[in-house]
């Protein structure tokens, strides 16, 4: 369960990073 939770957290961080990069690139 902790492994899945870490994957979810990492996925969320990647999504946030992509959104931040998109916001900065605008």
Q: Residue 26, SS3? A: coil
Helix ranges, 1-26 (H): 2-25
Q: Where are the domains of the chain?
A: 1-26
Give the model's pLDDT for residue 12: 92
Rg (CA), the chain: 11
The pLDDT tens digits of the residues spanning 4-26 come to: 999 999 999 999 888 888 888 87
Give the model's pLDDT for residue 26: 73
Distance CA 17, CA 1 (A): 24
Give the pair of three-digit tokens for residue 22.
Answer: 């998109």
Give the model's pLDDT for residue 17: 87
DSSP character at residue 1: -
């Amino acid at each position: 369960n902790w492994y899945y939770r870490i994957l979810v957290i990492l996925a969320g961080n990647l999504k946030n990073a992509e959104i931040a990069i998109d916001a900065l690139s605008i």
